[in-house]
Amino acid sequence: MSNVSIALSESWAYRYVLMTDCLTSLLLLYLLSRLTMMFKIVNDQNCPIQIPDYVQKKTRITRSFHPKRFINLGSKSNTYKYSFFIRTVKEWNGLPDELIEQETLKSFKSALADYLNLNH
């Protein structure tokens, strides 16, 4: 293999790793933003968005019951599947209780960043 082909393959590998890292960082940033917005909505913290009627809180008491969790909604179309509330409710319900119970937005963001391992 020539030096040119080795350099070319290394540069492609480097670009792929770089793109993958950037994409992962971007997806984590979007996740952080969605969950932060959901925290504001659920806790009525200066957010003009209201929870729509079709998003309902869980009422059945189970081991994973928490009063700020919601019923997961299914969808049959990608447009609806990737809408804010449908996507974010699933992610919100997956958070540990310690995160959901945070009292301030600042403490929630900090705890969420730690949970997502963003603070290395």
User: Phi and psi dihedrals of 25, rounded to 5?
Assistant: -65, -40
Domain of residue 55, residue span: 31-115
In a domain, 12, yes or no: no
Number of compact structural domains in the chain: 1
pLDDT digit string, tens, across residues 34-46: 999 999 998 888 8
pLDDT digit string, tens, across residues 75-97: 777 777 788 888 888 899 888 88
CB atoms within 10 A of CB 85: 19
- The answer to whether residues 88 and 37 touch, using CB atoms and an 8 Å cutoff, is yes
In a domain, 24, yes or no: no
- The answer to whether residues 57 and 70 touch, using CB atoms and an 8 Å cutoff, is yes
In a domain, 26, yes or no: no
Q: How far is CA 58 from the centre of its chain?
A: 20
In a domain, 44, yes or no: yes
In a domain, 1, yes or no: no
